[in-house]
Structure 1
Amino acid sequence: MTTTPEQAKSMARNLRAALSLEGTEISHSSALELVARSLGHPDWNTACAALARQAAPDDAPRFLRCSPILRIFDEAKARAFYCDFLGFRVTFEHRFAADMPLYMGIERGDLSLHLSEHHGDASPGATVFVATANLRALHRALSETRYPYNRPGLEELPWGLQVEVTDPFGNRIRFCQQDQ
């Protein structure tokens, strides 16, 4: 029988509830890690990916990566915010000609964004939600960077721990850790 990621999450919820009844409290992420190891995987991320591959038929579409496009208006401000402050690296740059708008790809870890000066690519003021691990470490690093235009806080919300940053063009990125 194949276990799906949804079934493994349900197993983690049940394990957490059963342990709670016995007087042992564990976080949801700890329960996920225990279930992953019980299914023979080294950690939850590896288990989730492997279980998803097993559950999907070979000819089913698989979404490999998502790269939201965010509208920018000033290349220098975009580089200062995304590269210097947030720690992204540029993966590609494209212009149809030297005096044309910039289209640029940036990455940090598994997070990929595209930034565009082209008016038809995106509207300013977008919001991107990013599931994040070790959010407190990210918050600490951003605070230590001393970027003069953004000092993000750390918010405890009903859906998780969150840090929100706003770029110079009104786009928001919400980094959220949901396994408190």
Structure 2
Amino acid sequence: MSLGRTMPILRMFDIAKAREFYVDFLGFEVAWEHRFAPDLPLYMAVQRDSVELHLSEHHGDATPGSAVRIAVTEIEALHADLLSKNYGFMRPGLETQPWGLREVAVTDPFGNRLIFFEPASV
């Protein structure tokens, strides 16, 4: 037996804001989108490298204010890339935690936190 990849579901309320944040700012690509009908909520996946996040407008799928930790290599490069985007709503810092991990934390327009961290070995 083995476990596979994790794909967190994060709640969203505004598709344009979600695309602006996840695609334009964080550099994810839309992997796929699904609606049961044109007037029903959107469920979509965004992907960057091996990270896939599911974003949902569906009321019962997820709770706003969730947090996801994402391991990265070369966290300085990620930090520099995010700052170069000049995103009008956020200028994340690069912090070293008391336990030694370096992190870049961002909060999406819906209150969900994504914490990118560089572990001792990825």
Flag whether TM exceeds 0.5 (same fold).
Answer: yes
Instruction: Point out the structure with the larger helix share.
Output: 1
Q: What is residue 117 of structure 2 aligned with on the other side?
A: 176
Amino acid at match of 1:172: R
Offset of residue 179 of structure 1: 2.0
Residue 47 of structure 2 is matched in structure 1 by: 107
Distance 2:117 2:41 in 1: 32
Distance 2:32 2:41 in 1: 14
**Matching residue within 121, 138, 162 for 2:103:** 162
Residue aligned with 1:79, SS: helix
More strand by share: 2
What SS does the aligned partner of 2:36 have? coil
Deviation at 1:65, TM superposition (A): 1.1
Cα distance, 1:159 vs structure 2:
4.1
Give the structure, 1 or 2, with the largest relative contact order (CA under 8 Å, sep 6 or more). 2
Q: Which residues in structure 2 correspond to 1:143-162 (within 5 Å)?
A: 143-157=83-97, 158-162=99-103
Structure 2 regions of 5+ residues with no counterpart? none
Tell me the secondary structure at the aligned position of residue 64 of structure 2: coil
Which residue of structure 2 lines up, in the alignment, with residue 78 of structure 1?
A: 18
- Between the two proteins, the alignment pairs up a number of residues equal to 120
Cα offset, 1:63, TM superposition = 1.5
- Secondary structure of the equivalent of 1:173? strand
Q: Partners of 1:85 and 1:154 in 2: how far apart?
A: 16
> Which residue, out of 31, 38, 41, partners 1:98?
38
**Which residues of 2 match residues 1-180 of structure 1 at below 5 A?**
60=1, 62-157=2-97, 158-179=99-120
In terms of Rg, which structure is larger?
A: 1
TM-score (norm 1): 0.65
Code of the aligned partner of 2:61: D
Letter in 2 for 1:136: E
Deviating 4+ runs (over 6 angstroms): none
Per-residue CA distance 1:43-88 (angstroms, 9 max, x = gap): xxxxxxxxxxxxxxxxx2x122110000000000000000000000
Q: Distance in 1 between matches of 2:51 and 2:77?
A: 16
Q: Which amino acid aligns with 1:123?
A: T
